[in-house]
Structure 1
């Protein structure tokens, strides 16, 4: 469809561009969008394969007599990387606002690749002892730091490079890229478990997706060469401190953080945790659980640009968010109840697709909304801090929280309760943000 093509999404005319945005041609548009989202793609790809192999990683790096303890330590290591996100959001966000989005994006993707490669190559606990989990933890910390700056710079680039009338569509490619990465990660894991024996997967097969992720970095750096150079000469911040000005917008930072809370908890439970949940709580075979990931990724990839374009057409960012998140909050309890009563693909897949369509509607436009809520001179820092805090406090810990809740309560419906509560809190924040769809960027 023409409405959701990358080139069309990024095409621009001088009459509709934000006054301080770098000029791009229609031919450059699609490549610029792809260059902006590839870092987010790498992040989500890494998260997806980590989720699929969390049980394996727990056994290899965090051996324990109780399998649940191993799994808890594995998802805790997944969560620990989020604690360096706020630091990365501040340092890399300020760097992007002062020295340009392009420079920051090249730095973040290189750091992400380095940390992913470290995890892929680390020997197991049985081989090098306590050093093994320490290296994995350090790799996750470095990933979190780089990802703290990646999201803000990339999302800002998508919103600023192109027509004011298609900002929702362009920003929605961040969510679509998450779906594409989850699809590729799940597809890769499915192929590996199909053609490689269980013993081989536990020894070396699980490392292949992480090595693939590390190899994406050179491609990303090459693609980002085509992005317009928005160095310090093109940035408009003239004050003594970016952070001091961000503090003047602290209410907006708080509301955006709470808005993101609903989306990020939904993401990490519905997209990344469900394969682990399917194996550990529902007792489904691992290869069948990976097909859930394939369906989830494909749903987000196809639907997010449609909802982003819809928000541009109706001139509303908040309406799709409110409708989608209310529908998801209502659907969660009966869906998880059916998962546990009928843990088979003909039941699980359709329910997952429906919930992810609701999630996509409720999240595809939040990326544009958060970017449009800050002035250009502090945009990267503002949304980076808000997003990093939300993901650190709520998204990154979501898997650990629901795993612990299931263990504490003995109920496999615990994830539905946690996600529902997060969605309702985020809806309150959305209603208090200003509608920005028809507001020109500064």
Structure 2
């Protein structure tokens, strides 16, 4: 079937532009808050391990804490299917408002949870339950938020808007790593163990009304006006769903290793101080936040998605092993920070345009459901376990280069999946 060129858009009235801007801001800030909720746990993994998962071997304790982090991803596919379908049937705003409430409840459970010393095994059980609730909410967030960004506004800026999905994740990581760095800098170890680690979770509860208020501004077509779903499964869409899962595989593994696991890696294996290690995550998150919109805008200008995605991922594969080798040979902050930012440059090139390509491969009436569930499965199977897998690989092999090899394998597989999806740049949305 021949590609349909983008029709010349009419200039929207000023009021419409303002309304669209509010919708984009609401989706981005709400998404930022939700990803902050879900991922800030990883920046305090070592502290949470000591308080909730005590063990004689600190590495085993860390593995248990990372297992609880990974458990949060188990509920993501369920949330992706249930809340994604809810978003397609009832509307994007309804789903996005629900997810922000559920995520806040999960944060409250973690932020006020008694420790193992206080209530024994009930403490880690409570953390696991909170992670499951957060995972369910996060599973529904991605599809609805990305669909909202893609569908709102002018056709020629779709990739720029969709790239803010990934940029907002970078902003969430920046907020989380920045808060962790400040707390580690100003508080003693005893204060961190006593109450400092709870601060991010409590702060998130306090700012929940901001996210709810912003998402009330999302105005969309009535759900009844959407095309009804056809009976049965469309084989072409199911095939794209599987390709989407593997296309996301490389992105999510790289995200959780390069941004979220890297402080733990630097502290445990390169022996950098915690205060300095958090600065590396801040640098990685800042690179993601600033570079994603640039690559999205360039993709719109090119009216193509795949050239940037393929180039970025190929160069990332080539750089991963040398970068981790240099980190291990020269474990100093300037070297490590520079290498991580370099990797993030090509990671964002290969990822930001994909946040337009993937949802553009699905029609609107099933977009949130298919995309959300595919993303949830990919992140659950590969992203949520990434930190646990690389930590386990290092332990069993004794090789600190294991994270590089694991990321290389995942990015190569995801690159192949990308080549099998349709090029959607410059086409009308289905």
TM-score, length basis structure 1: 0.93
Give the structure 2 partner of residue 75 of structure 1: 66
Cα distance in 2 for partners of 1:262, 1:352 equals: 16
Give the structure 1 partner of residue 208 of structure 2: 217
Compute the displacement of 1:235 (Å). 1.9
* Residue of 223, 226, 231 corresponding to 2:217: 226
* Residue of 297, 303, 308 corresponding to 1:309: 297
Give the structure 1 partner of residue 398 of structure 2: 410
- Kept in 1, the 8 Å contact 2:34–2:100? The answer is no
- Kept in 1, the 8 Å contact 2:38–2:135? The answer is no
Deviations 1:364-388 (A, max 9, x none): 0111111100001100111011111
Give the structure 1 partner of residue 421 of structure 2: 433
Cα distance in 1 for partners of 2:307, 2:229 equals: 35
SS for the counterpart of 1:227 is coil
Cα distance in 2 for partners of 1:249, 1:328 equals: 29
Q: How does 1:177-192 map to 2 (within 5 A)?
A: 177-192=168-183
* Residue of 155, 172, 195 corresponding to 2:163: 172
* Residue of 34, 39, 42 corresponding to 2:25: 34
Q: How does 1:271-420 map to 2 (within 5 A)?
A: 271-420=259-408
**1:269 aligns to 2:252 (yes or no):** no
Cα distance in 2 for partners of 1:156, 1:378 equals: 10
Give the structure 2 partner of residue 161 of structure 1: 152
Deviations 1:322-355 (A, max 9, x none): 1111111111101111111111111001101100
Compute the displacement of 1:434 (Å). 0.6
* Residue of 81, 87, 96 corresponding to 2:78: 87
- In structure 2, the gaps of 5 or more residues are 1-6
* 1:144–1:47 Cα change, 3 Å: closer
- Kept in 1, the 8 Å contact 2:100–2:212? The answer is yes
SS for the counterpart of 1:55 is helix
Give the structure 2 partner of residue 133 of structure 1: 124
Deviations 1:158-200 (A, max 9, x none): 0000111100000000111111111111111111111111110
Give the structure 2 partner of residue 4 of structure 1: none
Provide runs of 4+ in structure 1 moved above 3 Å: 12-17, 244-248
Cα distance in 2 for partners of 1:226, 1:387 equals: 26
Cα distance in 1 for partners of 2:38, 2:79 equals: 18
Cα distance in 2 for partners of 1:73, 1:38 equals: 31
* Residue of 12, 37, 42 corresponding to 1:51: 42
Cα distance in 2 for partners of 1:263, 1:348 equals: 21
- Kept in 2, the 8 Å contact 1:101–1:231? The answer is no
Deviations 1:57-93 (A, max 9, x none): 0010000000011000000000001111111111111
Deviations 1:209-264 (A, max 9, x none): 11122233211110011111433223222545xxx346651110011111000100
Compute the displacement of 1:47 (Å). 4.4
Cα distance in 2 for partners of 1:290, 1:30 equals: 33
SS for the counterpart of 1:249 is helix
* 1:231–1:131 Cα change, 3 Å: farther
TM-score, length basis structure 2: 0.95
Q: How does 1:234-273 map to 2 (within 5 A)?
A: 234-240=225-231, 244-245=232-233, 249-273=237-261
* 1:385–1:171 Cα change, 3 Å: same
Q: How many residues are matched? A: 423
Cα distance in 2 for partners of 1:188, 1:417 equals: 30
Give the structure 1 partner of residue 3 of structure 2: none
- Kept in 1, the 8 Å contact 2:30–2:214? The answer is no
* 1:149–1:35 Cα change, 3 Å: same
Cα distance in 2 for partners of 1:353, 1:430 equals: 24
- Kept in 2, the 8 Å contact 1:113–1:216? The answer is no
Q: How does 1:106-121 map to 2 (within 5 A)?
A: 106-121=97-112
SS for the counterpart of 1:386 is helix
RMSD (Å), alpha carbons: 1.7
Cα distance in 2 for partners of 1:230, 1:110 equals: 23
Cα distance in 1 for partners of 2:329, 2:205 equals: 40
Cα distance in 2 for partners of 1:72, 1:286 equals: 18
- Kept in 2, the 8 Å contact 1:47–1:272? The answer is no
Cα distance in 2 for partners of 1:107, 1:259 equals: 28
